[in-house]
Structure 1
Amino acid sequence: MKNTDNHAVAQAVHDLGSALWFGGTVMGVAGVNKSGADLQQGIDRIRVASSAWKRFAPAQWAGIAATLGAGLQLTRVGGRRIALQKGFGTIGALKAGLAVAGAAATGYAAYSGNKISQVAEQTEARGQKLEVLDATQPTDQTPPELAKWQRRQRFAQYAVPVLAAANIACGSYLVQSYRAAATLKGVARRVLPG
Protein backbone atom coordinates (compact mmCIF):
# COMPACT_ATOMS: atom_id res chain seq x y z
CA MET A 1 0.00 0.00 0.00
CA LYS A 2 1.27 3.43 -0.92
CA ASN A 3 2.24 5.67 2.01
CA THR A 4 0.22 8.89 1.91
CA ASP A 5 -0.20 11.94 4.10
CA ASN A 6 -3.96 11.34 4.19
CA HIS A 7 -5.14 11.32 7.77
CA ALA A 8 -8.84 12.05 7.29
CA VAL A 9 -10.06 9.23 9.57
CA ALA A 10 -7.78 10.23 12.44
CA GLN A 11 -8.78 13.88 11.97
CA ALA A 12 -12.49 12.99 11.98
CA VAL A 13 -12.14 10.83 15.11
CA HIS A 14 -10.17 13.59 16.81
CA ASP A 15 -12.65 16.32 15.88
CA LEU A 16 -15.72 14.29 16.83
CA GLY A 17 -14.13 13.34 20.15
CA SER A 18 -13.24 16.96 20.85
CA ALA A 19 -16.76 18.10 19.91
CA LEU A 20 -18.28 15.53 22.28
CA TRP A 21 -15.95 16.54 25.08
CA PHE A 22 -16.45 20.29 24.62
CA GLY A 23 -20.18 20.21 23.89
CA GLY A 24 -21.02 17.84 26.69
CA THR A 25 -19.04 19.89 29.17
CA VAL A 26 -20.73 23.12 28.13
CA MET A 27 -24.12 21.42 28.44
CA GLY A 28 -23.16 20.25 31.90
CA VAL A 29 -22.09 23.70 33.05
CA ALA A 30 -24.99 25.56 31.46
CA GLY A 31 -27.72 22.99 31.99
CA VAL A 32 -27.05 20.00 34.20
CA ASN A 33 -25.43 21.75 37.15
CA LYS A 34 -27.99 24.57 37.09
CA SER A 35 -31.07 22.39 36.50
CA GLY A 36 -31.32 21.39 40.14
CA ALA A 37 -32.22 24.98 41.03
CA ASP A 38 -35.73 24.15 39.80
CA LEU A 39 -36.14 21.51 42.54
CA GLN A 40 -37.31 22.19 46.10
CA GLN A 41 -34.85 20.12 48.16
CA GLY A 42 -31.13 20.83 48.31
CA ILE A 43 -30.24 17.14 48.27
CA ASP A 44 -32.31 16.65 45.10
CA ARG A 45 -30.48 19.55 43.45
CA ILE A 46 -27.24 17.68 43.94
CA ARG A 47 -28.62 14.23 43.17
CA VAL A 48 -29.99 15.29 39.78
CA ALA A 49 -26.66 16.75 38.65
CA SER A 50 -24.69 13.83 40.06
CA SER A 51 -26.91 11.30 38.32
CA ALA A 52 -26.68 13.13 34.98
CA TRP A 53 -22.89 13.41 35.14
CA LYS A 54 -22.52 9.71 36.02
CA ARG A 55 -24.60 8.81 32.98
CA PHE A 56 -22.63 11.12 30.68
CA ALA A 57 -19.15 10.20 32.03
CA PRO A 58 -18.57 7.21 29.70
CA ALA A 59 -19.36 9.34 26.64
CA GLN A 60 -17.22 12.20 27.90
CA TRP A 61 -14.24 9.94 28.58
CA ALA A 62 -14.72 8.32 25.16
CA GLY A 63 -14.49 11.80 23.63
CA ILE A 64 -11.34 12.54 25.58
CA ALA A 65 -9.81 9.18 24.61
CA ALA A 66 -10.65 9.84 20.94
CA THR A 67 -9.06 13.29 21.17
CA LEU A 68 -5.88 11.99 22.78
CA GLY A 69 -5.58 8.79 20.72
CA ALA A 70 -6.29 10.40 17.36
CA GLY A 71 -4.07 13.31 18.37
CA LEU A 72 -1.16 10.88 18.79
CA GLN A 73 -1.89 9.42 15.34
CA LEU A 74 -2.03 12.91 13.80
CA THR A 75 1.30 13.73 15.42
CA ARG A 76 2.80 10.53 14.03
CA VAL A 77 1.67 11.21 10.46
CA GLY A 78 2.67 14.88 10.73
CA GLY A 79 6.26 14.13 11.71
CA ARG A 80 7.79 15.64 8.58
CA ARG A 81 5.75 18.80 9.03
CA ILE A 82 6.87 19.10 12.63
CA ALA A 83 10.48 18.95 11.46
CA LEU A 84 10.14 21.20 8.41
CA GLN A 85 7.34 23.69 8.92
CA LYS A 86 8.08 26.46 11.39
CA GLY A 87 5.40 26.84 14.05
CA PHE A 88 3.79 23.45 13.40
CA GLY A 89 5.68 21.67 16.18
CA THR A 90 5.16 24.51 18.66
CA ILE A 91 1.40 24.63 18.12
CA GLY A 92 1.28 20.82 18.11
CA ALA A 93 3.06 20.70 21.48
CA LEU A 94 0.76 23.40 22.87
CA LYS A 95 -2.27 21.47 21.62
CA ALA A 96 -1.03 18.25 23.25
CA GLY A 97 -0.40 20.08 26.53
CA LEU A 98 -3.89 21.59 26.44
CA ALA A 99 -5.44 18.16 25.79
CA VAL A 100 -3.60 16.59 28.73
CA ALA A 101 -4.42 19.54 31.01
CA GLY A 102 -8.06 19.36 29.90
CA ALA A 103 -8.22 15.64 30.64
CA ALA A 104 -6.69 16.28 34.09
CA ALA A 105 -9.17 19.10 34.75
CA THR A 106 -12.01 16.80 33.68
CA GLY A 107 -10.79 14.17 36.12
CA TYR A 108 -10.59 16.75 38.90
CA ALA A 109 -14.08 18.04 38.09
CA ALA A 110 -15.41 14.48 38.28
CA TYR A 111 -13.61 13.92 41.58
CA SER A 112 -15.02 17.17 42.99
CA GLY A 113 -18.49 16.20 41.84
CA ASN A 114 -18.17 12.85 43.60
CA LYS A 115 -17.05 14.61 46.80
CA ILE A 116 -20.04 16.97 46.59
CA SER A 117 -22.34 13.99 46.28
CA GLN A 118 -20.69 12.13 49.19
CA VAL A 119 -20.73 15.11 51.54
CA ALA A 120 -24.33 15.93 50.60
CA GLU A 121 -25.46 12.35 51.26
CA GLN A 122 -23.63 12.30 54.60
CA THR A 123 -25.29 15.57 55.58
CA GLU A 124 -28.68 14.17 54.61
CA ALA A 125 -28.02 10.93 56.53
CA ARG A 126 -27.37 12.97 59.68
CA GLY A 127 -30.82 14.50 59.27
CA GLN A 128 -29.49 17.99 58.57
CA LYS A 129 -31.30 20.20 56.10
CA LEU A 130 -29.13 20.74 53.05
CA GLU A 131 -29.22 24.22 51.56
CA VAL A 132 -27.64 24.85 48.14
CA LEU A 133 -28.63 27.01 45.18
CA ASP A 134 -27.70 24.26 42.72
CA ALA A 135 -25.08 21.54 42.38
CA THR A 136 -22.15 23.97 42.38
CA GLN A 137 -23.53 27.05 44.15
CA PRO A 138 -23.60 27.07 47.97
CA THR A 139 -25.68 29.36 50.19
CA ASP A 140 -24.71 30.89 53.51
CA GLN A 141 -26.25 27.81 55.19
CA THR A 142 -24.33 25.22 53.13
CA PRO A 143 -22.03 23.10 55.31
CA PRO A 144 -18.43 24.39 54.94
CA GLU A 145 -17.04 21.06 53.64
CA LEU A 146 -19.70 20.92 50.92
CA ALA A 147 -19.23 24.58 50.00
CA LYS A 148 -15.46 23.96 49.65
CA TRP A 149 -16.02 21.17 47.11
CA GLN A 150 -18.67 23.20 45.29
CA ARG A 151 -16.15 26.06 44.83
CA ARG A 152 -13.54 23.62 43.53
CA GLN A 153 -16.05 22.04 41.18
CA ARG A 154 -17.16 25.44 39.90
CA PHE A 155 -13.56 26.36 39.04
CA ALA A 156 -12.87 23.01 37.34
CA GLN A 157 -16.16 22.99 35.42
CA TYR A 158 -15.21 26.26 33.71
CA ALA A 159 -11.57 25.27 33.15
CA VAL A 160 -12.55 22.13 31.21
CA PRO A 161 -14.44 23.78 28.31
CA VAL A 162 -11.82 26.55 28.09
CA LEU A 163 -9.04 23.96 27.74
CA ALA A 164 -11.09 21.81 25.33
CA ALA A 165 -11.90 24.89 23.21
CA ALA A 166 -8.25 25.96 23.13
CA ASN A 167 -7.34 22.42 22.01
CA ILE A 168 -9.89 22.67 19.19
CA ALA A 169 -8.58 26.11 18.19
CA CYS A 170 -5.00 24.78 17.98
CA GLY A 171 -6.30 21.89 15.88
CA SER A 172 -7.90 24.37 13.48
CA TYR A 173 -4.59 26.20 13.16
CA LEU A 174 -2.77 22.95 12.41
CA VAL A 175 -5.33 21.89 9.79
CA GLN A 176 -5.04 25.29 8.09
CA SER A 177 -1.27 24.92 8.01
CA TYR A 178 -1.75 22.03 5.57
CA ARG A 179 -2.78 24.50 2.84
CA ALA A 180 -0.08 24.75 0.17
CA ALA A 181 0.63 28.44 0.73
CA ALA A 182 0.90 27.96 4.51
CA THR A 183 3.20 24.98 4.04
CA LEU A 184 5.52 26.89 1.70
CA LYS A 185 5.58 29.90 4.02
CA GLY A 186 6.33 27.71 7.06
CA VAL A 187 9.12 25.82 5.29
CA ALA A 188 10.60 29.06 3.97
CA ARG A 189 10.61 30.59 7.45
CA ARG A 190 12.39 27.49 8.73
CA VAL A 191 15.17 27.41 6.10
CA LEU A 192 15.68 31.07 5.17
CA PRO A 193 17.58 33.38 7.52
CA GLY A 194 15.93 36.42 9.08
Structure 2
Amino acid sequence: MSGNLVARSIHDLTAAAWFGGSLMGAVGLNGATAQAQDPAERTRLSSLGWKRWAPVQTGAFAAHLTTWGPILWKNKGRYSQQDGVMRWTWIKAGVTVAGAAVTLYAGVLGKKVDELSEEGAKGATEPRTAASPELAQAQKQLRQLQWTIPVLAGTVVVLGAKHGEMQRPKNVKAGVLKS
Protein backbone atom coordinates (compact mmCIF):
# COMPACT_ATOMS: atom_id res chain seq x y z
CA MET A 1 0.00 0.00 0.00
CA SER A 2 1.46 3.35 -0.99
CA GLY A 3 2.19 5.99 1.62
CA ASN A 4 -0.34 8.34 0.08
CA LEU A 5 -3.08 5.70 0.18
CA VAL A 6 -2.32 5.03 3.85
CA ALA A 7 -2.40 8.74 4.66
CA ARG A 8 -5.66 9.27 2.73
CA SER A 9 -7.24 6.22 4.38
CA ILE A 10 -6.30 7.41 7.87
CA HIS A 11 -7.48 10.90 6.98
CA ASP A 12 -10.88 9.61 5.84
CA LEU A 13 -11.30 7.11 8.68
CA THR A 14 -10.58 9.71 11.33
CA ALA A 15 -13.13 12.08 9.80
CA ALA A 16 -15.61 9.19 9.82
CA ALA A 17 -14.83 8.49 13.50
CA TRP A 18 -15.47 12.14 14.32
CA PHE A 19 -18.79 12.05 12.46
CA GLY A 20 -19.94 8.70 13.82
CA GLY A 21 -18.84 9.36 17.38
CA SER A 22 -20.50 12.74 17.56
CA LEU A 23 -23.74 11.46 16.05
CA MET A 24 -23.84 8.40 18.30
CA GLY A 25 -23.17 10.61 21.31
CA ALA A 26 -26.01 12.97 20.46
CA VAL A 27 -28.53 10.27 19.60
CA GLY A 28 -27.43 7.27 21.65
CA LEU A 29 -25.58 8.50 24.70
CA ASN A 30 -27.44 11.73 25.37
CA GLY A 31 -30.74 10.13 24.43
CA ALA A 32 -30.21 7.10 26.67
CA THR A 33 -29.04 9.06 29.70
CA ALA A 34 -32.26 11.08 29.60
CA GLN A 35 -33.98 7.82 30.64
CA ALA A 36 -32.12 7.59 33.96
CA GLN A 37 -34.48 7.73 36.94
CA ASP A 38 -32.30 10.09 39.00
CA PRO A 39 -32.01 13.58 37.40
CA ALA A 40 -28.41 13.92 38.68
CA GLU A 41 -27.51 10.62 36.98
CA ARG A 42 -28.59 11.99 33.61
CA THR A 43 -25.83 14.58 33.40
CA ARG A 44 -23.32 12.45 35.32
CA LEU A 45 -23.66 9.42 33.03
CA SER A 46 -23.58 11.53 29.89
CA SER A 47 -20.44 13.26 31.15
CA LEU A 48 -18.80 9.91 31.89
CA GLY A 49 -19.56 8.68 28.38
CA TRP A 50 -18.20 11.81 26.73
CA LYS A 51 -15.07 11.64 28.92
CA ARG A 52 -14.45 8.09 27.69
CA TRP A 53 -14.87 9.21 24.08
CA ALA A 54 -12.65 12.31 24.41
CA PRO A 55 -9.27 10.47 24.12
CA VAL A 56 -10.47 8.63 21.00
CA GLN A 57 -11.74 11.88 19.53
CA THR A 58 -8.47 13.64 20.34
CA GLY A 59 -6.47 10.82 18.77
CA ALA A 60 -8.66 10.92 15.66
CA PHE A 61 -8.15 14.68 15.32
CA ALA A 62 -4.41 14.31 15.80
CA ALA A 63 -4.20 11.57 13.16
CA HIS A 64 -6.44 13.56 10.82
CA LEU A 65 -4.25 16.64 11.07
CA THR A 66 -1.02 14.62 10.90
CA THR A 67 -2.03 13.06 7.59
CA TRP A 68 -2.91 16.43 6.09
CA GLY A 69 0.73 17.33 5.41
CA PRO A 70 1.65 14.21 3.41
CA ILE A 71 -1.59 14.45 1.42
CA LEU A 72 -0.97 18.11 0.60
CA TRP A 73 2.64 17.39 -0.34
CA LYS A 74 1.75 14.45 -2.59
CA ASN A 75 -0.87 16.51 -4.44
CA LYS A 76 0.96 19.86 -4.55
CA GLY A 77 1.17 19.89 -8.34
CA ARG A 78 -2.57 19.46 -8.74
CA TYR A 79 -3.33 22.56 -6.65
CA SER A 80 -1.95 24.91 -9.26
CA GLN A 81 -2.68 22.83 -12.35
CA GLN A 82 -6.18 21.40 -11.80
CA ASP A 83 -9.13 23.76 -11.72
CA GLY A 84 -11.01 23.72 -8.41
CA VAL A 85 -8.61 21.61 -6.33
CA MET A 86 -7.18 24.53 -4.35
CA ARG A 87 -10.63 26.06 -3.81
CA TRP A 88 -12.09 22.79 -2.47
CA THR A 89 -9.00 22.22 -0.33
CA TRP A 90 -9.46 25.61 1.33
CA ILE A 91 -13.16 24.96 1.84
CA LYS A 92 -12.43 21.60 3.46
CA ALA A 93 -9.72 23.16 5.64
CA GLY A 94 -12.12 25.88 6.77
CA VAL A 95 -14.88 23.41 7.64
CA THR A 96 -12.37 21.19 9.47
CA VAL A 97 -11.02 24.08 11.55
CA ALA A 98 -14.55 25.34 12.31
CA GLY A 99 -15.63 21.84 13.30
CA ALA A 100 -12.59 21.35 15.51
CA ALA A 101 -13.26 24.67 17.25
CA VAL A 102 -16.93 23.81 17.80
CA THR A 103 -15.99 20.35 19.09
CA LEU A 104 -13.43 21.84 21.47
CA TYR A 105 -15.98 24.39 22.73
CA ALA A 106 -18.51 21.58 23.26
CA GLY A 107 -15.88 19.85 25.40
CA VAL A 108 -15.50 22.99 27.52
CA LEU A 109 -19.28 23.18 27.94
CA GLY A 110 -19.42 19.48 28.74
CA LYS A 111 -16.87 19.98 31.52
CA LYS A 112 -19.07 22.72 32.96
CA VAL A 113 -22.12 20.43 32.84
CA ASP A 114 -20.08 17.70 34.53
CA GLU A 115 -19.03 20.09 37.32
CA LEU A 116 -22.69 21.03 37.90
CA SER A 117 -24.11 17.54 37.38
CA GLU A 118 -25.34 17.27 40.99
CA GLU A 119 -28.05 19.80 40.09
CA GLY A 120 -29.68 17.19 37.86
CA ALA A 121 -31.41 17.71 34.54
CA LYS A 122 -34.22 16.52 32.30
CA GLY A 123 -31.54 15.16 29.98
CA ALA A 124 -27.91 15.59 29.01
CA THR A 125 -28.74 18.77 27.10
CA GLU A 126 -32.12 19.66 28.63
CA PRO A 127 -31.99 21.66 31.88
CA ARG A 128 -34.53 21.37 34.67
CA THR A 129 -36.63 24.40 35.52
CA ALA A 130 -34.68 24.88 38.76
CA ALA A 131 -31.26 24.64 37.06
CA SER A 132 -28.68 27.30 37.77
CA PRO A 133 -28.18 29.84 34.97
CA GLU A 134 -24.69 28.39 34.33
CA LEU A 135 -25.95 24.83 33.88
CA ALA A 136 -28.99 25.87 31.85
CA GLN A 137 -26.89 27.98 29.48
CA ALA A 138 -24.25 25.27 29.00
CA GLN A 139 -26.92 22.63 28.31
CA LYS A 140 -28.79 24.84 25.87
CA GLN A 141 -25.59 25.54 23.95
CA LEU A 142 -24.70 21.85 23.96
CA ARG A 143 -28.15 21.01 22.59
CA GLN A 144 -27.30 23.09 19.50
CA LEU A 145 -23.71 21.93 19.20
CA GLN A 146 -24.57 18.22 19.48
CA TRP A 147 -26.19 18.57 16.03
CA THR A 148 -23.77 21.14 14.61
CA ILE A 149 -20.76 18.89 15.16
CA PRO A 150 -22.00 15.92 13.10
CA VAL A 151 -23.08 18.32 10.33
CA LEU A 152 -19.57 19.80 10.17
CA ALA A 153 -17.88 16.41 10.50
CA GLY A 154 -20.16 14.94 7.82
CA THR A 155 -19.31 17.86 5.55
CA VAL A 156 -15.60 17.03 6.00
CA VAL A 157 -16.35 13.42 5.01
CA VAL A 158 -18.27 14.58 1.91
CA LEU A 159 -15.51 17.01 0.95
CA GLY A 160 -12.99 14.17 1.30
CA ALA A 161 -15.09 12.19 -1.19
CA LYS A 162 -15.15 15.25 -3.47
CA HIS A 163 -11.34 15.34 -3.35
CA GLY A 164 -11.25 11.64 -4.20
CA GLU A 165 -13.50 12.17 -7.21
CA MET A 166 -11.30 15.05 -8.38
CA GLN A 167 -8.36 12.60 -8.49
CA ARG A 168 -9.98 10.32 -11.06
CA PRO A 169 -7.92 10.52 -14.26
CA LYS A 170 -10.78 11.87 -16.38
CA ASN A 171 -11.44 14.61 -13.79
CA VAL A 172 -7.75 15.49 -13.51
CA LYS A 173 -7.54 15.79 -17.29
CA ALA A 174 -10.69 17.93 -17.51
CA GLY A 175 -9.52 20.12 -14.60
CA VAL A 176 -6.05 20.65 -16.08
CA LEU A 177 -7.46 21.53 -19.47
CA LYS A 178 -9.92 23.97 -17.88
CA SER A 179 -7.30 25.90 -15.89
TM range (shorter): over 0.9
CA shift, 1:182, in A, is 0.3
After the TM superposition, which of the residue ranges 154-163 and 103-112 deviates more from structure 2?
154-163
Q: Pick from 69, 92, 105: which aligns with 1:72? A: 69
CA shift, 1:58, in A, is 0.5
Q: Pick from 149, 153, 178: which aligns with 1:160? A: 149
TM-score (norm 1): 0.87
**Structure 1 counterpart of 2:19, one-letter code:** F
**Structure 1 counterpart of 2:49, one-letter code:** A
Say if 1:46 and 1:120, in contact at 8 Å, map to a contact too. Answer: yes
Once residues 150 and 68 of structure 2 are traced to their aligned partners in structure 1, the CA distance between those partners, rounded to angstroms, is 18
Once residues 65 and 12 of structure 1 are traced to their aligned partners in structure 2, the CA distance between those partners, rounded to angstroms, is 14
CA shift, 1:72, in A, is 2.5
Q: Which runs of 5+ in 2 are unaligned?
A: none
* Residue aligning to 1:98: 95
Say if 1:136 and 1:151, in contact at 8 Å, map to a contact too. Answer: yes
**Structure 1 counterpart of 2:153, one-letter code:** A
| Residue deviations 1:115-156 (CA, integer Å, cap 9, x gap) | 1111233x4xxxxxx3x2211012333332211110111122
| Residue deviations 1:68-119 (CA, integer Å, cap 9, x gap) | 2212321121100001001000001111111111111110011111111112
Say if 1:13 and 1:67, in contact at 8 Å, map to a contact too. Answer: yes
Work out which of the two has the higher radius of gyration on C-alpha atoms and give 1 or 2. 1
SS in 2 for 1:21: helix
CA shift, 1:6, in A, is 6.2
Once residues 72 and 154 of structure 2 are traced to their aligned partners in structure 1, the CA distance between those partners, rounded to angstroms, is 19
TM-score (norm 2): 0.94
Say if 1:86 and 1:189, in contact at 8 Å, map to a contact too. Answer: yes
Q: Pick from 166, 170, 173: which aligns with 2:159? A: 170
Say what the alpha-carbon RMSD is for the aligned residues: 1.4
Which structure's relative contact order is higher, taking Cα pairs within 8 Å and 6+ residues apart? Answer: 2
**Structure 1 counterpart of 2:77, one-letter code:** R
Once residues 132 and 117 of structure 2 are traced to their aligned partners in structure 1, the CA distance between those partners, rounded to angstroms, is 9
* Residue aligning to 2:24: 27
* Residue aligning to 2:108: 111
CA shift, 1:15, in A, is 1.2
Q: Which runs of 5+ in 1 are unaligned?
A: 124-129
Give the length in aligned residue pairs. 178
Once residues 35 and 44 of structure 1 are traced to their aligned partners in structure 2, the CA distance between those partners, rounded to angstroms, is 11
Q: Identity of counterpart residues, as a percentage?
A: 35
* Residue aligning to 1:84: 81
* Residue aligning to 1:56: 53
* Residue aligning to 1:179: 168
| Residue deviations 1:135-188 (CA, integer Å, cap 9, x gap) | 101233333221111011112221111111111111101111111110011011
After the TM superposition, which of the residue ranges 141-150 and 99-108 deviates more from structure 2?
141-150
Once residues 3 and 173 of structure 2 are traced to their aligned partners in structure 1, the CA distance between those partners, rounded to angstroms, is 18
Once residues 162 and 175 of structure 2 are traced to their aligned partners in structure 1, the CA distance between those partners, rounded to angstroms, is 13
